[in-house]
Structure 1
Amino acid sequence: MLLATAVLVSAAWLAPVKADASAQAVKLPETRFASTVSGHGFDAPPGFADAVPARNQAHPEAKAVGEQVCTACHAKENDNFAHTAHALGMQVALAANPATATCEACHGPGSVHAANPTAKGSIIAFTHEGGTPVANQTESCLGCHSGGPRDVWLGSIHQRNDLSCSDCHNPMQKFSAEGLTAKQSVSETCATCHKDIRQQFNRRSHMPLPEGQISCVDCHNPHGTLNATLLKTDTVNETCYQCHAEKRGPFLFEHAPVRESCLNCHQVHGSNQHALLVAPVPMLCQQCHSHTRHPNDLQTELSLGNGMTPDERLMGRGCITCHAQVHGSNHPSGPRLHK
């Protein structure tokens, strides 16, 4: 009897059970985007779908009027804007959610501006003459573009000099391939203010920026860093080591001025001397090594081959003819940086 009962229980346990679909169904949260009910996220709402109008500090009472009111007057601007990354994202978001702010997501509510278009400050204008404080302009941009490279924008040299995002970027028209910069490239955009630095790249020895192999942002973060020169790293040397790793060391025999800063010997952007040097060898070396050991004669142009007192120590490669490992040596016999 007990055995028969056990067999029946086992058969009941192993027999397939009809699933109750209504009991097992998982109720997904309600959403206004029907395509997300699948839960897979392939058709999730685009990033601009929940965009709201930016805050215009001059007119907090202004109300949103919608994209059609803006484009009724600004048809030309709308045509130029249509090819930009912002426009493409906003149009997709608007199709997904008709309540999404488009123009007003950056420029703020447009009711006051629509009533009096000539009044300065009635809308967030991204120019220095538009009546909107620069702080309000950058606040509108940082509403989406905060964090990352812009973590230390506040207090940076560009922010302290009252630069606006629109001084370097033009989100209303596609001038560049990336970054929506105001000029065709990042380097050209930087050169609008830093003309003296751009001129240094025209010297005989220069970093390969004019050739397009590097750009300003390879070394600098224009949105702010913790140092005065906007370097991406903590020091000049760390920045240089990003490309010149062989100069990093550590070396058995260090060269003190090299370890202190590359700028002791090199012009970072361009120089009329060999290898970006600040002065020709051996004059550069004798700024430190003067009247000690064998270089007891101060080398000048008179010691050149066509001078009054030619000296072999000034010819060829100068000091580095013998002291070839000027950045440091790992050779046991290299305390004088010969090997």
Structure 2
Amino acid sequence: MKPPSPYSLPRVGIAAGALATIALVSGIIAQPQAAAPAAPGAPAGATYVGEAVCIACHTPQNLQFSHTLHANAFRLNPRNEKEKLSCEACHGPGSEHLKDPVSPGNRGSLVGFTREWGTPVAQQNAMCLSCHQGGSHQNWAGSVHAINNVACSDCHNPMAKVSASGLLKKPTINETCYSCHQQQRAEFAKRSHMPLPEGKMTCVDCHNPHGATSKAMLKADSVNELCYNCHAEKRGPFLWEHAPVRDNCLNCHNAHGSNHDKLLQVARPYSCQQCHGNPGGHQAAFFNAGQTVGGGAGINTRVLGRSCQNCHSQIHGSNHPAGARFQR
């Protein structure tokens, strides 16, 4: 016969269950749990009561939590005394909450991880960061998200397995980011876009949501270094460099999406004309719509399509001895 799980509650009558709970609570209060580090912001004198007391009331939450990564870590492979506490490892000692579990004025006795509960974001994040330090989290302090009072629980749900990874508040990384970043979501819907809607990329392929030393929380030291991770052929160095390209890929491209080909900020040839307003040796009529279709003075196949790149094809840089004009 399979032994009962310590995390499932037996089906008993209401009276018997109530008496058992009272006896259990009384016994635990009389005999405090093993010492564990004090929780950030815990009330003075609060003591740990143990997981069994918590799940006596929070049965639905326990059923959801049982399938999460935190539950597996705390219950099957705890690394220290704090993790053995399970619920109280994150929510703090529960003795004060146990005395008055329903009064809104007593919410400060526990750390809550919802905006409605009212625990300050700094206190919530301090609890998470007490375990999740270093690595990708080492630049959280001072990050754009931290400065804007984003809580770990705004993106993560440790109490239920919502995503495949078991970490997020939404089913996917991109949906989680879109909760706030609506402008970027709209850009990904444009006809030329990074392949996030197709599931070939995620926001965290380029950004570290936990903070970075670079602008926009990029996972590289600069925009160009990030782009070169995939577009290595554009890295160079080249014998003939194109200054705007070398300066910043975003001088010409939109990183998320555009209604123009190749993620361009503006359509060709206007992208080039932002710098080359009056290209020497070129007739202005070449680039007028009325002159590039249906015939006209000076028309030839090179200007059909109204793209400078019909001739200047190596616009990102050239190693050809005669490549100063980026034509080869």
Q: Alignment partner of 2:216: what SS? A: coil
Q: Which residue number corresponds to residue 75 of structure 2?
A: 91
Q: Alignment partner of 2:109: what SS? A: coil
Unpaired runs of at least 5, structure 1 = 1-49
Q: Which residue number corresponds to residue 199 of structure 1?
A: 186
Alignment CA distance shift 1:326-1:97 (3 Å): closer
Q: Which residue number corresponds to residue 57 of structure 1?
A: 41
Q: Which residue number corresponds to residue 8 of structure 1?
A: none
Query: Rg larger in 1 or in 2?
Result: 1
Alignment CA distance shift 1:68-1:292 (3 Å): same
Q: Which residue number corresponds to residue 24 of structure 2?
A: none
2:212 to 225, 247, 250: 225
Give the distance between the partners of 1:139 and 1:176, measured in 2 at CA.
24
Give the distance between the partners of 1:109 and 1:335, measured in 2 at CA.
70
Q: 1:201-235 CA deviation, whole Å, 9 max, x = no partner?
A: 11111111111111000000000011331101111
1:276 to 256, 263, 285: 263
Q: Which residue number corresponds to residue 80 of structure 1?
A: 64
Query: Residue 70 in 1 paired to residue 58 in 2?
Result: no
Alignment CA distance shift 1:201-1:68 (3 Å): same
The TM-score, its normalising length taken from structure 2, stands at: 0.82
CA contact (8 A) 2:39 2:127 kept: yes
1:179-218 counterparts in 2 under 5 A?
180-218=167-205
Pairs aligned (count):
290
Q: 1:121-166 CA deviation, whole Å, 9 max, x = no partner?
A: 1100012231211111111111111101111101101001101000
CA contact (8 A) 2:83 2:89 kept: no
Query: Residue 111 in 1 paired to residue 111 in 2?
Result: no
Give the distance between the partners of 1:92 and 1:267, measured in 2 at CA.
47
Query: Residue 291 in 1 paired to residue 258 in 2?
Result: no
Query: Residue 125 in 1 paired to residue 112 in 2?
Result: yes
Q: Alignment partner of 1:154: what SS? A: coil
Q: Which residue number corresponds to residue 23 of structure 1?
A: none
Shift in Å, 1:95: 12
Shift in Å, 1:306: 5.8
For 2:320, give the aligned amino acid: H
CA contact (8 A) 2:196 2:202 kept: yes
Q: 1:48-81 CA deviation, whole Å, 9 max, x = no partner?
A: xx99466141513211000011101110000000
Q: Which segment drifts farther, 304-313 or 72-81? A: 304-313
Q: Which residue number corresponds to residue 267 of structure 1?
A: 254
CA contact (8 A) 1:324 1:338 kept: yes
Q: Which residue number corresponds to residue 153 of structure 1?
A: 140
Shift in Å, 1:316: 2.7
Give the distance between the partners of 1:72 and 1:286, measured in 2 at CA.
70
Give the distance between the partners of 2:306 and 2:277, measured in 1 at CA.
18
For 2:183, give the aligned amino acid: D
Identity of aligned residues (%): 51
Alignment CA distance shift 1:176-1:148 (3 Å): same
Give the distance between the partners of 1:291 and 1:317, measured in 2 at CA.
15
2:162 to 159, 171, 175: 175
CA contact (8 A) 1:281 1:318 kept: yes
2:307 to 282, 303, 318: 318
CA contact (8 A) 2:74 2:83 kept: no
Alignment CA distance shift 1:307-1:277 (3 Å): farther
Give the distance between the partners of 1:238 and 1:194, measured in 2 at CA.
23
CA contact (8 A) 1:191 1:198 kept: yes
CA contact (8 A) 1:66 1:104 kept: yes
Q: Alignment partner of 1:254: what SS? A: coil
CA contact (8 A) 1:53 1:108 kept: no
CA contact (8 A) 1:71 1:78 kept: yes
CA contact (8 A) 1:53 1:109 kept: no
For 1:305, give the aligned amino acid: V
Give the distance between the partners of 1:246 and 1:51, measured in 2 at CA.
58
Give the distance between the partners of 2:145 and 2:82, measured in 1 at CA.
37
For 2:322, give the aligned amino acid: S
